[in-house]
Amino acid sequence: MTHVPYPQAPMRNVLVRLIVIQTVATLAIALGFYLWIRAPLAVWSVLYGGAIAMVVALLLAWRVHRASRPGASIAGLYLSTLERALFVTVAFALALAVLKLAPLALISGFVGAEAAYYFTAGLLRGQTRA
């Protein structure tokens, strides 16, 4: 039986592209809010929302990598869904209740970065196969 190594390099390249695209989308939205209302709080809110989306992408990539190992169970991917939902909930609660960030800007940053992730992931589909 031949050993087929896990294709880490293609996965890593795709993940880096996804994070770069999310970063660019987040910065573009932050610039838009700055030019629109010139409020530093709105810019920080967009950046925080985008950062939440990027952490969610990294958590998903980490769980998918762990689930692809020999002997790994699918339960890790189900746990990942709960873990990411809990993270997003806590991060939004912290942003709104403690940090008092601007809700519209926060949601715009998060949704913009998530949309960039899914759009880019669709374009990059199939590039992780060795």
Does 115 have pLDDT greater than 90?
yes
Over residues 53-102, the pLDDT tens digits come to 999 999 999 888 888 778 777 777 888 899 999 999 999 999 999 999 99
The per-residue DSSP string of the chain comes to: -------HHHHHHHHHHHHHHHHHHHHHHHHHHHHHH--HHHHHHHHHHHHHHHHHHHHHHHHHHHHTSTT--THHHHHHHHHHHHHHHHHHHIIIIIS---HHHHHHHHHHHHHHHHHHHHHHTTTT--
Write down the pTM of the prediction.
0.86
